[in-house]
Amino acid sequence: MKLNKDYWERRYEENKLGWDIGKISSPLKEYIDQLKNKEIKILIPGAGNGYEVAYLVQNGFNNVYIADLARQPIENLQNRVPTLPANNFFYGDFFDLPNCKFDLILEQTFFCALHPKDREAYSLKMLELLKTGGKLVGLLFDFPLTEDGPPFGGSKEEYLEYFKSRFTINVLQRSYNSIPPRAGKELFFIFTK
Ligand SMILES: C[S@@+](CC[C@H](N)C(=O)[O-])C[C@H]1O[C@@H](n2cnc3c(N)ncnc32)[C@H](O)[C@@H]1O
């Protein structure tokens, strides 16, 4: 199975969106709610229907960028958040994103959607995309990694292998405020470049 554009576009066409919770998740909401500077440049990679994008914009963050390989969620977001300029939407592969620097990148069910062989490349690309002092923040699944996926699981120990030599690990712990279906199955993290 190739996790390419056709695969993801088909998932949207067939409405097989098991990851889509229909609203912003509580951990991301709580993190966003304590941000003071609304000017920061934020990227949401593999945004899907990106409920956190609408939430950010409603709360005065306008420097928000979206990347997704699938057309349908990009179009959905453009319709739902029409105040964001067209240039803030990148329809394409995250790994082809131009080297523009962000203050904050929010992760939610994008890492686990990639094949595990791409995890090292994900870490390197995040390093490239962040400003010095910029943060990669979000959620990583905490269940055993198997061949079955997406979503592909992983563990704190495994994730540290990809990130600890490149980022300061500020937080990587069991999320205390997960949505009920994910309780006990995800880690909240903050990594600083
Ligand atoms: C499991 S969904 C998660 C969507 C969203 N983050 C959420 O939590 O609802 C994974 C998303 O990543 C996108 N995606 C997968 N591989 C990608 C890649 N290489 N570059 C950009 N987007 C990608 C898919 O199209 C899909 O929208």
Per-residue pLDDT reduced to its tens digit, 23-59: 999 999 999 999 999 999 999 999 999 999 999 999 9
Q: Is pTM beyond 0.85 here?
A: yes
**54 C-alpha to ligand 1 centroid (Å):** 17
Backbone angles phi, psi at 135, to 5 degrees: -125, 140
Question: What's residue 121's pLDDT?
Answer: 98
Summary mean pLDDT of the chain: 96
Q: Please give the span between the terminal C-alpha atoms of the chain, in angstroms, as a whole number.
A: 33
Per the structure block, which two tokens stand in for 8? 């993801």
**pLDDT score at 23:** 97
Q: How confident is the model at residue 146 (pLDDT cuts 50, 70, 90)?
A: confident
Please give the number of the atom of ligand 1 that sits closest to the Cα of 5: 25
Ligand 1 centroid to Cα of residue 120, in Å, is: 17
Q: What distance in Å separates the CA atoms of residue 134 and residue 32, rounded to the nearest whole number?
A: 15
Res. 147: pLDDT tops 90 = no
pLDDT above 80 for 1: no
Q: Does domain 5-192 have CATH number 3.20.20.70?
A: no
pLDDT per position as a tens digit, 53-78: 999 999 999 999 999 999 999 999 99
Counting atoms of ligand 1 from 1, which one is nearest the CA of 21? 9
The residue with tokens 């595990």 is 116
